[in-house]
Amino acid sequence: MNTITTIDTNKLPNHLAIIMDGNGRWAKQKGLLRTLGHESGTKSVKETVENCAKLGIKNLTLYAFSTENWNRPKFEVDTLMKLLISSLKKEMKTLQENNIKLNAIGNLTNLPEKVQKELREVIQKTASNTRMTLTLALSYGAREELIQAVKKISDKVKNNIISIDTIDESIINEHLYTHNLPDVDLVIRTSGEHRISNFLLWQIAYAEFYFTEVLWPDFSKEDLYNAIKNYQSRERRFGKTSEQIS
């Protein structure tokens, strides 16, 4: 049976987030430089984005570069930034052909100006696309995101723009990088690690998690479908009992 026929397209995650892990280990296993692992990982990004769009997933967020990744060797960071620029240029056509809107979250001002420029251009040119929103988490850290949100809200309270008594989940959501995105339904992490790694800590409060041993450059269409099938087999209760859900 074709794998896709086993997926209920009425029960897709509205927001899928992926921690793309294992590029370096993939390269090391093959006796290659870590940077070649990152290059191979871009192929998995392209295939995953296209497959999610074809399935009908409306929101896909990829953890592309964390705030902690700045601490990696300069050569590796520089290579990642060059890869990002070349990928954005190369995939513009794919985004347009698949009606995909590009979004970016994180402390984007820390990115090199060339990266910021390319990002702005692709975001602007795809702004009216409606099939799927692809969000790249770049120079992103959830703790930093929450700190910035607290500062913004505190400043508004200080200046009597909002009352402290009105602060609730919706107010906090409005001040996060992801204010225009729904909560995450499913998180996939590749490479066998079982960590969140400072990724969307607020937004994944009720997300389902799927961990796979597959290294990111080897992540295939079948691996994506397996994760979604696993998600669809679970009972999402959001604090309620099974009886209440049924």
Contact 184, 17 (CB under 8 A): yes
Q: Is 71 a catalytic residue?
A: no
Contact 137, 119 (CB under 8 A): no
Catalytic residue among 21, 59, 185, 226: 21
Catalytic residue among 10, 23, 51, 69: 69
Report which residue type is found at 149. A
Tokens (6 digits) for 139 = 């120079």
**Can you name the residues that pair with 25 across neighbouring β-strands?**
none
Q: Is 69 a catalytic residue?
A: yes
Using alpha carbons, list the distances in angstroms from residue 59 to 73, 169, 171, 180, 240. Answer: 32, 21, 22, 11, 26
Tokens (6 digits) for 51 = 């497959």
In degrees, to the nearest 5, what angle opens at C-alpha 194 toward C-alphas 191 and 195?
110
From CA 44, how far away is CA 34, in angstroms rounded?
16
From CA 223, how far away is CA 221, in angstroms rounded?
5
- Active centre residues (catalytic): 21, 69
